[in-house]
């Protein structure tokens, strides 16, 4: 979980936004279950946090909107380009792979 936190921090994800813990947990679950559907992922995270799966999904969407709208750092640009729109699935899959194979060497 510490590697995930470090990568999210280095990507410029605002720690104070609602759902940051959901996002960290979603990345952990995704790495443990590569290929899991987003619906199943949201359900697992929601169950762990005693919230609805839609709450998990919506909070992650909001985090990505805020992050994409802000000034992007070099790591973010290397991973995702200069995009202003990023899907939950693309973000989670890309960051999970980065954490799994590259660690937090940035």
Please tell me the total count of domains within the chain. 1
Confidence (pTM) = 0.88
CA distance 47 to 26: 12
Q: Which residues of 64-99 are buried (b: 16+ CB within 10 A; e: fewer)?
A: beebbeeebeeebeebbeeeeebebeebbbebbebb
CB-CB contact of 23 with 60 (8 Å)? yes
Instruction: Round to whole Å and give the CA distance between 91 and 83.
Output: 12
Q: What is the CATH number of the domain that holds 73?
A: 1.10.10.10
Say which residue the tokens 């605002």 belong to.
14
Query: What is the extent of the structural domain holding 7?
Result: 2-102
94-104: pLDDT as tens digits: 999 999 887 54
**How much is the pLDDT for 29?**
95
């Amino acid at each position: 979980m510490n590697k995930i936190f470090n990568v999210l921090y280095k990507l410029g994800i605002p720690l104070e936004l609602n759902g940051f813990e959901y996002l960290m947990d979603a990345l952990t679950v995704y790495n443990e279950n590569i290929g899991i559907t987003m619906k199943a992922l949201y359900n697992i995270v929601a169950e762990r946090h005693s919230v609805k799966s839609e709450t998990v999904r919506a909070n992650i969407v909001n985090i990505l909107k805020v992050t994409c709208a802000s000034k992007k750092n070099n790591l973010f640009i290397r991973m995702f380009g200069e995009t202003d729109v990023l899907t939950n699935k693309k973000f989670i899959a890309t960051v999970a792979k980065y954490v799994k194979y590259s660690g937090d060497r940035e």
